[in-house]
Structure 1
Amino acid sequence: MTPHGAAPPARDRFAADTEPFRRELVAHCYRMTGSAHDAEDLVQEAYLRAWRSYDAFEGRASVRTWLYTIATNVCLTALRSRRPRLLPSGLGGAQEDPDRPPDLVGPGEVSWLEPLPDGWTDAPADDPAATVVARESLRLALIASLQHLPARQRAIFLLRDVLAFSALETAAVLDASTAAVKSGLQRARARLHEVAADADELLEPSDPRTRALLDGYVAAFERSDARLLEQVLRADAVLEATPFRQWQAGRTMCVHVLRTFVLATAGDWRMVGVVANGQPAAAVYRRDPAGALRADGVVVLAPTATGIARVVKFHDPALVPLFGLPDVLRGAGGA
């Protein structure tokens, strides 16, 4: 117990100074890397470095700027040895032959983008002073576009246009000149304009129309009902799934591929609604030969007022536990 009037231990001071920024730093590291797993590890590394240098921190910058300096440079160091994380639409054009099964990309050939659970960045309900991370800054389309930027340009764009750091602050974070920051930002904006898809006005996860679209998509899979899929997808809907090379454009193509290669028997699939990247999503379970419903991955939807504009399925069972869900779904016909 700290004596009356005595300074709190360094550990307590460090936690009080830095913990309020942990969630937004997770979001920042995720934007930089496109991986929830990497973001978690890199934030841990950033806090370890911050703790080691805490005694030398003299307050010449705010605690927030100091932490962003450490976290950004941790990310830049890590990204030197890592390939950009992509979605299938970043590999080439849409599938043209509707009857050809999508090609699997070989293990290690591509590093795939990952979704981020909203629970990692949402402010706790019992902490009104906690920083709220803007959902728009974590939309899947933006994260996918950012991966096409060189890492340093990515950092400049995020610090300036997403986090609203000044050019001078950004230069200090990156140990660069303000001229370099300004030119890097111009190049980043130009590149994003080239690679970014047209931005759809997405409905919020709390919108009743969003819930109806998610419920319809889930019901279509759980019943193996292709006609229900047609009702919830937009005419220009896009479907992509890792680790497949091809992706599909247009409702007709999307439904045909799902009906032909995915939907088989009612009861093969179960989905549990979650929220990822500020968008409605579902943890996906598939029934194995023994009848158990095992984690299969996560699907993220882009809901609009006229239907679902994009479906991205991440075929990676390791993503399901990130949402606090089990590897095997009990009940509901499961084991």
Structure 2
Amino acid sequence: MPDFAASTGPHRAELVVHCYRLLGSVHEAEDLVQETMLRAWRAWERYDSTRASIRTWLYRIATNACLTALEGRARRPLPTGLGGPSEDPLQRLVPAFDVPWLQPLPDDPAAVTAARSGVRLAFVAAMQLLPPRQRAVLVLRDVLDFSAAEVADLLGTTTASVNSALQRARSGVAGVSADELTESGEEVIDDYVRAFEEADVDALVALLTDEVVLEMPPVPLWYRGRDDYARFMARVFEMRGTRWQLQRTHANGQPAFAAYCWDGSDFHLHTLQVFSIADGRVAHTVVFQDPAVFEVFGLAPVLTR
């Protein structure tokens, strides 16, 4: 019998990404992979390599563990999934911590592999609208390229049922691609960082698409269009000051940065901002202000002067 740790360890990272796609939470994904490995260890002596590869066997355990965890659980949305845009950028910002918000996934752009496809925020958010089994079928078929017969075996169902679920799932996320990256947007984000650190609203607006979207979980509000984006950013600089320091990073295969604002003695962590780029401009900004997200990304709470 091969060594358990040596055989299963190389698959752990991709299993975390797989569970994240289904659950929308990094913390929960890591917990479910721990449970997957425990279940696999208990069943290790019964594992039959003639029936399935170790990778397929682990995906079966992980997927079914996720489906069990999702039973009766509320979906993880972004504010855009809760209703229409706000028309008042000066509206009072009240966090809704009772909502289980979708979390971003830390990502190293130099190490993007096939295992990290299908993790763009828009795609993961769209999947949250699907019933759990449809999510699983969509990921296993369209992202991981398992055959319909393999998915049927993984989920303990029929090929016809898998094909039907896949058709419904594709309709449910119509218009949202699972492709990993459309545009890297490094140049426009460089310009955005400079404009932000200079608190230059006009320069920021010049980098936006006409129908740009701005949302900021855990505040259940979002805005569409350059004018409202500009008014909101002007409000941010008025409230938090015009002295900022930004640290570039990546999330979900997309450009991102951590924003720190000056309080008179130090730069304090304010938000993690994740960007989607289209036609060389910022098309969507998701601004996370959640301590749980900061922890996942290992962001320092304070940058000393």
Same fold (TM over 0.5): yes
Aligned counterparts of 1:47 and 1:120: Cα–Cα separation in 2: 27
1:257 corresponds to 2:255 = no
The offset of 1:81, in angstroms, is 4.0
Report SS of the residue matched to 2:111.
Answer: coil
Out of 179, 182, 199, the position equivalent to 1:202 is: 182
Correspondence for 2:250 among 262, 266, 275: 275
Which residue matches 2:97? 107
Which runs of structure 2 are paired with 1:26-105 in the superposition (5 Å)?
26-59=16-49, 60-101=51-92, 103-105=93-95
Give 1:127's aligned residue.
none
Contact 1:23 1:120 in 2 (8 A): no
Deviations 1:103-128 (A, max 9, x none): 424331x21111101149936xxxxx
Name the residue aligned to 1:308.
282
Output the amino acid matched with 1:117.
P
Cα separation, 2, equivalents of 1:95 and 1:135: 33
- Partner residue of 2:193 out of 200, 214, 218: 218
Q: Could you report, residue by residue, the CA deviation over 1:66-91 in whole angstroms, capped at 9, with x for unpaired residues?
A: 00001001111111142111111001
Question: Quick one: distance in 1 between partners of 2:55 and 2:253?
Answer: 24
Q: 1:15 to 1:104 in 2, by over 3 A?
A: same
* Structure 2 unaligned spans of 5+: none
Where do 5+ consecutive residues of structure 1 fail to align? 1-6, 124-131, 205-209
Paired amino acid for 1:58: D
Cross-structure match for 2:163: 182
1:262 shift after superposition: 4.7
Are residues 120 and 175 of structure 1, via their aligned partners in 2, closer, same or farther at CA, if it must alter by over 3 Å?
Answer: farther
RMSD value over aligned CA atoms?
A: 2.5
Distance in 2 (CA, whole Å) between partners of 1:83 and 1:137 is 21
The one-letter code sitting in structure 2 at the alignment partner of 1:138 is V
Contact conserved, 1:122 with 1:133, CA < 8 A, in 2? no
Task: Say which of 291, 296, 299 aligns to 2:270.
Answer: 296
Q: 2:242 aligns with which of 262, 266, 270?
A: 266
Report how far residue 184 of structure 1 moved: 1.0
Q: 1:24 aligns with which of 14, 34, 38?
A: 14
Counterpart residue number, 1:207: none
Change (3 A) 1:280 1:266: same
SS at match of 1:180: helix
Alpha-carbon distance in 2 for matches of 1:313, 1:91: 16
Q: Which residue of 1 aligns with 2:203?
A: 228
SS at match of 2:274: strand
SS in 2 for 1:118: coil
* Equivalent position of 1:4 in the other structure: none
User: Aligned partners of 1:328, 1:73: CA distance in 2, in Å?
Assistant: 40
- Would the aligned equivalents of 2:14 and 2:116 in 1 still touch at CA under 8 Å? no
Deviation at 1:58, TM superposition (A): 1.6
Rounded to whole Å, the distance in 2 between the matches of 1:120 and 1:32 is: 22
TM-score (norm 1): 0.83
Q: 1:121 to 1:82 in 2, by over 3 A?
A: farther
SS at match of 2:104: coil
Work out the number of aligned pairs and report it.
303
CA distance in 1, matches of 2:116, 2:32: 21
The 1:170/1:263 distance shift into structure 2, 3 A limit, reads: farther
Cα distance between partner residues in 1 of 2:174 and 2:250: 27
User: How far off is 1:309 after superposition?
Assistant: 0.7
2:299 is aligned with 1:318: no
Identity of aligned residues (%): 44
Deviation at 1:278, TM superposition (A): 0.5
Give me the TM-score of the superposition, normalised by structure 2.
0.91
Shift of 1:249: 0.7
CA–CA distance in structure 2, aligned partners of residues 305 and 272 of structure 1: 24
Distance 2:27 2:105 in 1: 9
